Structure 1
Amino acid sequence: MSERFFLETVPRDGRAVLVGDEARHLARVLRAAPGDEVAVFSGTGTQWPARVVRIGRDEVELETGPGRADPPAAGPPLTLAVALPKGERQKWLVEKLTELGVTRLLPLRTERGVAEATPAAVERLRRGVIEACKQCGRNTLMEIAAPATVAEVLAGLTAGCRGVVADPLGPALDAAALRNGAGAVLALVGPEGGFTAAELAAAQQAGAGRATLGPHILRVETAAMALAARLA
């Protein structure tokens, strides 16, 4: 059995316990038995081999082996501030950004936004990150930050953090120049109606550049994925 499972806490003294949906999936869906081998991760950058020791009603006790830590990231941490699309496209967005190695996704509140990042929606995004990590082999969870306005996000452009706004009228994205020497990168993707003139002016005043991602108009999730592929 080569399934991966998410732990709420890191293993201690060679022991770990799966709870909730993870335990139910292993015990009831996969019908695991003592002695079966799986892999577990806690979202902090390490994966452990594990063996089922005991199956309880709502938990599965595991014996874990030595952990294997992920290598350091090749580039600076990347935050994508995105005006969320509607419905199932949010799930696709989270899945692909997780696979591409984005550090943090921040639901962006804009003047023309069409989807509200409610607490329930944010919680669904966080669950989606776990499922995507289980599938793609990533051991560090992509953070889902609290929703914020454009002004609040731009306030995070401190020294060492470089910012860029996806804008069809901007120059071509120079990913290497943006990443080289940066302590962190912040990229903003607006709603399908685009950023307003006031939002673009605020970004420019805060020191964020503007960049186009190609000759065509992209959907929100496509633009976010294109930025992730170039900058993560």
Structure 2
Amino acid sequence: MTQRYYVPDLPAAGGVLELPEAEGHHARTVMRLRVGDAVELFDGRGTVATAEITAVSKRQVTCEAQPCRRRGETPRRSVTVAVGMPKGDRAKFLIEKLTELGVTRCVPLRCQRSQWTVSSGALQKWQRAMIEACKQSGRNDLMEIAAPVAAETWLAAAGEAAAWRLLAHPAAAEGGQLAVGFTQAGQPSSPEQGVAIAVGPEGGFVEEEVRLATQAGWQAVSLGELVYRIETAAIVLAALAMHR
């Protein structure tokens, strides 16, 4: 499989370039690429280029890139997932899977039941995990990871452009609103119609947050009788939104 590397400023006409520091380290130290090896470069905005390694040193990896091209890909539905992020490796796993699924944007939520504050260091780690997931999966556009925002603020103001807004809430199962059916009126029928998904932290959204969301037009949905972890619920809802 051709190795892929993220280069945000790909020259349109091709030419000699150095891989960014983190990418060069991965190519040189982890993958042990050598002069003459073929790689694929992508800029995170849908543009790719074939390249050949021309020099490898202790500090940098140099490539000769061919002219850039746009890779034809099936249009994806715009999906935003706002979530009260879990801690540690669970958050990294969630970012990786949302990226692989093709989610457009991930918004970390500060909820009333959130047990930790998302730091700038965590955002940087997630950004790197997202890039690695793009490299592995073949995705050529980066998923946006937004700055953390208060759940009340985001639920009241966001998602206006989305054709469907889904709030994960286990109590919704009592009313029969199961997300797995995806049969409710207003379901987006084309990729151009976006979907916004909100998933709370451990323990879920508090009733005040649910009330604010439903007043703003969000539809409370459940995945059935079982209560899933944050990352499980977010991944399942995102997969349903992307592929239904």
% identical aligned pairs:
39
2: CA distance, partners of 1:9 / 1:183 = 30
Deviations 1:184-216 (A, max 9, x none): 211100012111111000001111111111221
* Structure 2 portions without partners, runs of 5+: none
Tell me how large the CA RMSD over aligned residues is. 2.0
Aligned 8 A contact 2:42 2:48 in 1: yes
* Residue 9 of structure 1, CA deviation: 1.5
2: CA distance, partners of 1:7 / 1:186 = 29
SS in 1 for 2:171: coil
* Residue 56 of structure 1, CA deviation: 4.5
* Structure 1 portions without partners, runs of 5+: none
33-42 or 187-196, which deviates more = 33-42
2: CA distance, partners of 1:199 / 1:62 = 51
* Residue 166 of structure 1, CA deviation: 0.5
Deviations 1:77-118 (A, max 9, x none): 100000001211011111111111111111011000123211
Matches within 5 A, 1:1-232: 2-15=2-15, 16-65=17-66, 66-75=68-77, 77-154=78-155, 155-170=157-172, 171-173=177-179, 174-175=181-182, 177-180=186-189, 183-232=193-242
SS in 1 for 2:115: coil
2: CA distance, partners of 1:43 / 1:157 = 24
Deviations 1:23-80 (A, max 9, x none): 12223443433322111112112332111123355332222235342424242x1000
- Counterpart code for 2:221: A
Q: Deviating runs (4+, > 6 A) in structure 1?
A: none
- Counterpart code for 2:159: L
* Residue 10 of structure 1, CA deviation: 2.0
- Counterpart code for 2:40: A
- Counterpart code for 1:59: Q
Q: TM-score, normalised by structure 2?
A: 0.87
Size of the aligned set, in residue pairs, is 231
Q: TM-score, normalised by structure 1?
A: 0.91
